[in-house]
Amino acid sequence: MNDMRVLERAVDNQDLKIAARDVDVYYGTTHAIKSVNVEILDKTVTAFIGPSGCGKSTFLRCLNRMNDTIDICRVTGDILLDNEDIYDAKVDPVQLRAKVGMVFQKPNPFPKSIYDNVAYGPRIHGLSRNKAELDEIVEKSLRRAALWDEAKDRLDQPGTGLSGGQQQRLCIARAVATGPEVLLMDEPCSALDPIATAQVEELIDELRERFSVVIVTHSMQQAARVSQKTAFFHLGELVEYGDTSQIFTNPQDSRTESYITGRIG
Amino acid sequence: MSDATAETPRKSSLYRTSDRVKRRNRSEVRFRVLGLTAIGIGVAALALLVISIIGNGYNAFRQTYISIPVELTADRLDPDGNRDADEMSRVTTFGYAPLLAQSLYTYLQDQDISMEGVSPQALMAMISQEAPAQLRRSVLDNPEMVGQTVDLEMLANGRIDGYFKGRVTMASAELDSNVTPAQLQLAQRMADAGIMATRFNWAFITNPDASGQRPEAAGLGVAILGSFYMMLVVLALALPIGVAASIYLEEFAPQNRFTDAIEVNISNLAAVPSIVFGILGLAIFINFAGLPQSAPVVGGLVLTLMTLPTIIIATRASLRAVPPSIRDAALGLGASKMQSVFHHVLPLAMPGILTGTIIGLAQALGETAPLLLIGMVAFVREFPAAPPEGLFDPTSALPVQVYNWTQRADPAFVERASGATIVLLLFLVFMNAMAVILRRRFERRW
Ligand SMILES: Nc1ncnc2c1ncn2[C@@H]1O[C@H](COP(=O)(O)OP(=O)(O)OP(=O)(O)O)[C@@H](O)[C@H]1O
Ligand SMILES: [Mg+2]
């Protein structure tokens, strides 16, 4: 664990972006998330870590109501985005998801061209007035996802023809292109090589200037490298949440300590 | 390491096949032989079917004609002499028939062809009863023809035609009250002289049905149009309804008892015998809604009911085959449910939907039983008008025409029925080829 150096980046923003209050999630009778309270700051990278099956993805999916698509899933408690309850009856999840973008655990590009993949979000949200603007958005997004150099000559080829890692970066570009305020990333680097991982981490760091980023990761090193805040989940509970430097150097809970030193999980 | 795995591995040469592997290979070979046999039996059965149908039916596409010059004498066809079609129409086919017989008689005499053993009546019987009717129609269409001598090509009687196709022989003619060996011998002499010839018969495709005495004139025109109109109705109704229902059930409907019940019922509907749909159609569309009998619109509606389950089942299966991650991706970008379905899921499911639809249509095209119940079995000689009015005109349908012809006494109709089967099969092959092409076309995009 020699590269466990925690970047001493101060959390330079204390504005609250998302607040979860007493959130419980049930899949049928399975209690997947147990009374989680967490406050996610604006312009900050927050990492969710924890052993497999502890509910990181589940909680992440609550933040943009992707759990609505699972019939048996039931969410209770309040999740506030900019002080508005996203589970309020008045809220249209479609509008919410335009603000809270998501990159999934498995790359899932549309079986369309690379260009159309990235342009889809801007198109349906009317973010560009003409083709030139759309081209610009596509290029900028692909650049940010570190895919531009590889993809610029084959924009009209299917996104599904890319390698796994390239597909994941395409999905990131696609999510970024919509211009979300919060970007949720579920293990975005699990299929990437170290170079692409470094590029994505750079991207995440860059995104922090404008968005709030929540990233689920199994790599402690990654959490340490990119995040300012870290939340440790265990068996559906939020065990510990705090500054990344504090979690990794001075965990308060014994379970956190065991996990980051590799004894559980 | 536990003791069990610490055992020293047995050494064996890779060049020697072990007994276990040999057994495995043998069973694999057995399975392959089994599979090949199964395919062989299937292909052989198909080949047998195709060969027998083509062997029986290809003669329906050929027809024997008598070509002679005929003088259209004015005093017979236009007694008033003013070439007015209305007045000329008072002369019935019985006025035309002797004219043809007379012309044939004189022509044979001129050509020195012996009419030994064939009375003038028997000579007249060698011409199809349809021939005077056809001549009358063309004369009424062009009254100027009267008074001229025209080269006519007239249908030979079905039995004479059968002689050239091998269906009627001298021996069978002995026993047949409708034809004598002398007539056949004369026909042979006429063929040798080039007066009588068998050639390709477009009329089989374009003509309407003909009565039981005139198999040589019977065609599939009305039946093909009727089937085509019904397919239009089925396509226009079943595709949108089926796809909309499937999308709703698959993508939008909540999972509950009610939707489960619907699902079970749709699967059951697919297994309902088609004649039941005919009874339903009779009760609802004809008796209750008062739609006309024998009309393609009613046939189309009944077949739509029958095809819907097929389309729904195929569409749902192909919707379900679209990976959920695609839906998630679209929803995650802020697409609405509709957008995710119509932009991403539906295009991916399209090949399957089209295949299901075409298979459903092909099934409907070959369906006979329900059409019998709604009166599509009627004898129709009038061509229907163009759609949409034509949808309410009485027509026949291809499979019903096959059924109909096999019911008739004259063996010439058996040949016609086989010919109709060939046409039906060609349509089915065409539709299935379309299904394959469409699927390729849509799939090639990714
Ligand atoms: N669609 C679902 N239906 C039922 N149970 C589910 C579903 N998705 C997740 N679960 C359950 O919820 C719990 C948390 O799952 P989740 O996917 O959130 O774990 P995770 O922390 O993301 O794990 P990993 O690191 O392996 O991705 C697990 O026990 C899982 O079995
Ligand atoms: Mg997960």
Question: For position B445, what pLDDT does the model report?
Answer: 55
Q: What number of residues does chain A have?
A: 265
- Given a cut of 50, whether residue A137 has pLDDT beyond it is yes
Return the percent helix, strand and coil in chain B, to nearest 5. 70, 5, 25
Ligand 1 proximal residues by C-beta, below 6 Å? A 27, 30, 32, 50, 52-58, 70
Nearest-CA neighbor of B219 among B412, B391, B430? B412
CA–CA distance, B427 with A68 (Å, rounded to integer): 47
Pocket perturbation via mutation, ligand 1, pick of A34, A57, A72, A189 by most ligand atoms within 8 A of CB: A57
**Least confident among A38-52, B5-19, B96-110, B203-217:** B5-19
Question: For position B205, what pLDDT does the model report?
Answer: 86
Which residues have CB under 8 Å from B370's CB, separation 6+? Answer: B274, B275, B277, B278, B281, B299, B302, B303, B306
Mean pLDDT on B305-328: 91
B326 touches chain A (CB under 8 A): yes
Burial (CB count within 10 angstroms: exposed 0-12, middle 13-18, buried 19+), residue B306: buried
pLDDT digits (tens, 9 = 90+) for A16-39: 889 999 999 999 999 999 999 999
CA–CA distance, A213 with A201 (Å, rounded to integer): 11
Q: B378 φ, ψ to 5°?
A: -65, 155
A6 touches chain B (CB under 8 A): no
Structure confidence at residue B17 as a pLDDT band (50, 70, 90): confident
* Ordered domains of chain B (ranges, CATH): 60-201 (no CATH), 221-442 (1.10.3720.10)
- How much of chain B exceeds pLDDT 70, in percent? 98
Taking CB atoms within 8 Å and a gap of at least 24, the contacts of B109-114 are B111/B193, B111/B195, B113/B186, B113/B189, B113/B190, B113/B193, B113/B195, B114/B186, B114/B189
Asked if the Cβ–Cβ distance from B331 to A97 is below 8 Å, we say yes
- How much of chain A exceeds pLDDT 70, in percent? 94
A71 touches chain B (CB under 8 A): yes
Q: How far is A228 from chain B (nearest CA, A)?
A: 25
pTM of the model: 0.81
- How much of chain A exceeds pLDDT 90, in percent? 50
B175 touches chain A (CB under 8 A): no
The answer to whether the beta carbons of residues A176 and A145 sit under 8 Å apart is yes
ipTM: 0.87
CA of A178 to the centre of ligand 1 (A): 27
Using CA coordinates, name the residue in chain A closest to B254. A71
CA–CA distance, B269 with B388 (Å, rounded to integer): 29
Q: Please state, rounded to an integer, the average pLDDT across all residues of chain B.
A: 86
* Ordered domains of chain A (ranges, CATH): 2-260 (3.40.50.300)
DSSP helix/strand/coil, B295: coil
Structure confidence at residue A4 as a pLDDT band (50, 70, 90): very low
Using CA coordinates, name the residue in chain B closest to A173. B333
Tokens of B61: 């596409």
Asked if the Cβ–Cβ distance from B446 to A112 is below 8 Å, we say yes
Name the CA radius of gyration of chain A, rounded. Answer: 18
CA–CA distance, B190 with B167 (Å, rounded to integer): 18
Tokens of A236: 């559906």
Mean pLDDT on A213-241: 92
Asked if the Cβ–Cβ distance from A101 to B333 is below 8 Å, we say yes
The answer to whether the beta carbons of residues A238 and A25 sit under 8 Å apart is no
Comparing CB atoms, the residue among A104, A160, A174 nearest residue B446 is A160
Q: How far is B357 from chain A (nearest CA, A)?
A: 23
- Given a cut of 60, whether residue A11 has pLDDT beyond it is no
B327 chain-A contacts, CB cut-off 8 A: 69
Q: Please state, rounded to an integer, the average pLDDT across all residues of chain A.
A: 88
In order of B267, B311, B313, the CA distances from B270 in angstroms are 5, 10, 9
CA A60 to ligand 1: nearest atom: 18
Name the closest-CA residue to atom 19, ligand 1: A53
CA of A186 to the centre of ligand 2 (A): 7
Angle at alpha carbon of residue A221, lines to A217 and A223, rounded to 5° = 45
Comparing CB atoms, the residue among B323, B333, B343 nearest residue A174 is B333
One-letter amino acid at B12 equals S
- Given a cut of 80, whether residue A5 has pLDDT beyond it is no
- Given a cut of 80, whether residue A257 has pLDDT beyond it is yes
Question: For position A2, what pLDDT does the model report?
Answer: 41
CA–CA distance, B281 with B284 (Å, rounded to integer): 5
CA–CA distance, A179 with A212 (Å, rounded to integer): 12
Question: For position A13, what pLDDT does the model report?
Answer: 58
One-letter amino acid at B284 equals I
Which residues have CB under 8 Å from B120's CB, separation 6+? Answer: B101, B105
Nearest-CA neighbor of B126 among B62, B179, B53? B179
